[in-house]
Structure 1
């Protein structure tokens, strides 16, 4: 059975003849005319003029429409097939909720620090038991133990590419472990005269910066292990050090109840932040993504200079408070109160909307930065929480961070929704969507 009626056939043939004639395909026109036996006189005003082209373009339009609908359909199917957990993993404002996805057990002492590998699904934990353990946070499986320190390991951090791991200990040594070479301990840095509390790679990974109970901050060259600079100023145990994103400033905090903003090139203290009533346990620079919310919280005007890395820091102390500061003026912008015990760890949410805190009151609290309100409390561990870390984030480009507002911001889809906490209860907990 023919798909076309006689009338449709004739219409099609006449429109083809009209097309051939209009485009001067004379031989083809004559051949088709004689083969079909149609008596047709071309007429630019006839209904057949341009009919073939019109039909052709409408077919293409329909095909495009069909393809668009099919793509939309596939996207909707994919969205439906995503489990709620997978959907949550894509949410840019996810925050931890109980229960934890995994409880990692194996340390024989309290867990003092946790650090995520920037690209692999690995986490490193430092413990009072003098070891560092490596775990797969996606499966909750234990990978290996790094032994080399002889006393408590106080801190652990990866370089930006995840090729090296740095640790520091109460044994007065800093060690570097080669991730790609079976995690071998390749370098050891002497230099401090007392417990080393905190260590970080400086941006660029050429240097490390450490803080110690000997009241100093020291900068070492990674390649040669030489001491580059000793920075003094604090009058008691220096608990924590945090370099800002472009490495032009470092923030430190101490048992002397102050935090300091320091120029690592000169060792000069740029600003002393003084308002806590007890030991300051933690200091952390705010990411550029959080600046708008912090300005809203403090009622500050939006100015160009404050889109540079290092404009604001948050501190947490044994006085149970969290404080947010302007590093250029030294002004205290807001005090966040709610914890019932020492504040031990602070992490800015990669979206810039929240600040997460962990405390000896065994909870994680989520603070909405724009309002300063505690919007969530998670009962997290059975004992004090020493540390907390957020999962891998795409490194921002510090070269762009001095210019336009919002530059240097990690894209919202470039961070992984996972949080790890470590506790006196000797466990690490992994919080997943």
Structure 2
């Protein structure tokens, strides 16, 4: 800091003397006068009266101005990185930021799930109002309402080509809708004895897998609607079931506070993931692109180059935590605490660098997998955030990806260009939000 000149020192001392005298600090006034050797007679009419307070408040104002400018600078820098010329470079690492590009309104009850069409800019949303609504996520326009269920629709999923949409409901039915034929309800599956919480197409699209409050997981043949397999083992309501990217494994989560791994081909129980202290709401398989970051985070040997789908999963629970697991050993690799309420939805970033979560604390959080730290919190909705999905896209060899299942490995040729940067969230506030670069 620059040294004060004699004139500045004298001005400062006289201002301090005036301040001390005006506030009746007489002993301090005389002590400063004596030590500084300055002759000064207090006078409220001099320029020194109130000078100290003026300088002090102007410093605070300047500090506030500086902070405002720094914040403005940071937001401009962020805008710059998203400018069209820079967008291509930043595209692969894109993460959502407020505000959302579109707020989709029309449902009359909380949103339970959102799902992206694999090739078109079509988004499906399921709601407790017993309907599924179809939207164009690029324009934010509403397209149609699918009616047929008589109670809350709890999950929706497109097949790999986007020809069919599957939905499940508290009315004990699973329905298939033909996207090529005016979205007609072409098949209805009965078979569960209680609310059906989750339904997914198994890779290959020959089967669907569902989970229910009747404590079972069931597989159905899409063509014949026949029940192929009933998987039992959970001790309470099964909240979520998803297949691995190659369709060989299933992961499920339950009110019994566990997640489980199953062999999809025969329903055989393979591993129990125990560690949460409340209902496990959601489970998501990590994409192969994330394996390197997860191994580094967990301190696992880097010489292990396994690219087997289904090696790691993430779970989110009502104990407000997210956990990363090794599905081979059943070990917890990392706890990700930070949310202030139930964790309801998870989606891995296509690059494999991040994990996104949605919670009843009304936020989306972005976790850096390499370090396990929460690097961004987005205030997403005015009420609980119940669902989160990453845009889907077809990848080479006819495999599909979605926000919670397998996501393409950008290291493989041809996949990097096909990343779709769009996120949708659904909430108890009855809105769906679309987040775009």
- TM, length-normalised to structure 2: 0.77
- Contact 1:353/1:369 (<8 A) preserved: yes
Separation in 2 of the partners of 1:191 and 1:228?
A: 11
Structure 2 unaligned residues grouped into runs of 5+? 1-80, 400-408
- Contact 1:396/1:409 (<8 A) preserved: no
Query: 1:416 aligned to 2:432?
Result: no
Separation in 2 of the partners of 1:286 and 1:398?
A: 19
Separation in 2 of the partners of 1:245 and 1:174?
A: 22
Separation in 1 of the partners of 2:369 and 2:357?
A: 12
Query: 1:425 aligned to 2:424?
Result: no
Separation in 2 of the partners of 1:398 and 1:262?
A: 24
Relative to structure 1, is the Cα distance of residues 266 and 408 closer, same or farther in structure 2, using a 3 angstrom cutoff?
farther
Secondary structure, aligned partner of 2:289: helix
Separation in 2 of the partners of 1:160 and 1:232?
A: 27
How far does residue 395 in structure 1 lie from its aligned partner after superposition? 3.1
* 2:395 corresponds to: 395
Relative to structure 1, is the Cα distance of residues 407 and 233 closer, same or farther in structure 2, using a 3 angstrom cutoff?
farther
- Contact 1:289/1:351 (<8 A) preserved: yes
Structure 1 unaligned residues grouped into runs of 5+? 1-81, 400-404
Relative to structure 1, is the Cα distance of residues 408 and 310 closer, same or farther in structure 2, using a 3 angstrom cutoff?
farther
- Contact 2:422/2:436 (<8 A) preserved: yes
* 2:250 corresponds to: 250
Relative to structure 1, is the Cα distance of residues 341 and 177 closer, same or farther in structure 2, using a 3 angstrom cutoff?
same
- Contact 1:206/1:222 (<8 A) preserved: yes
- Contact 2:160/2:394 (<8 A) preserved: no
Secondary structure, aligned partner of 1:413: helix
* 1:378 corresponds to: 378
Relative to structure 1, is the Cα distance of residues 424 and 283 closer, same or farther in structure 2, using a 3 angstrom cutoff?
same
Deviations 1:29-77 (A, max 9, x none): xxxxxxxxxxxxxxxxxxxxxxxxxxxxxxxxxxxxxxxxxxxxxxxxx
How far does residue 265 in structure 1 lie from its aligned partner after superposition? 1.7
Runs of 4+ off more than 6 Å = 405-410
- Contact 1:88/1:94 (<8 A) preserved: no
Larger-gyration structure (1/2): 1
- Contact 1:288/1:409 (<8 A) preserved: no
Separation in 2 of the partners of 1:256 and 1:170?
A: 20
CA RMSD of aligned residues (A): 2.0
How far does residue 87 in structure 1 lie from its aligned partner after superposition? 4.3
- TM, length-normalised to structure 1: 0.78
How far does residue 167 in structure 1 lie from its aligned partner after superposition? 0.2
- Contact 1:208/1:222 (<8 A) preserved: yes
Separation in 1 of the partners of 2:147 and 2:242?
A: 25
Relative to structure 1, is the Cα distance of residues 136 and 87 closer, same or farther in structure 2, using a 3 angstrom cutoff?
farther
Deviations 1:265-309 (A, max 9, x none): 221110000000000000000000000000010011135563100
Deviations 1:375-417 (A, max 9, x none): 0000000000000000123336599xxxxx9887872221111
Query: 1:88 aligned to 2:87?
Result: yes
* 1:275 corresponds to: 275
The within-5 A match list for 1:106-145 is 106-145=106-145
* 2:287 corresponds to: 287
Deviations 1:295-330 (A, max 9, x none): 010011135563100000000000000000000111
* 2:326 corresponds to: 326
Deviations 1:224-274 (A, max 9, x none): 000000000000000000100001100000000000000122211100000
* 1:39 corresponds to: none
Separation in 1 of the partners of 2:166 and 2:422?
A: 22
How far does residue 85 in structure 1 lie from its aligned partner after superposition? 5.3
* 1:209 corresponds to: 209
Separation in 2 of the partners of 1:150 and 1:316?
A: 29
* 2:146 corresponds to: 146
Secondary structure, aligned partner of 2:306: helix
Secondary structure, aligned partner of 2:92: coil
* 1:45 corresponds to: none
- Contact 1:288/1:408 (<8 A) preserved: no
Separation in 2 of the partners of 1:86 and 1:256?
A: 50
- Contact 1:242/1:251 (<8 A) preserved: yes
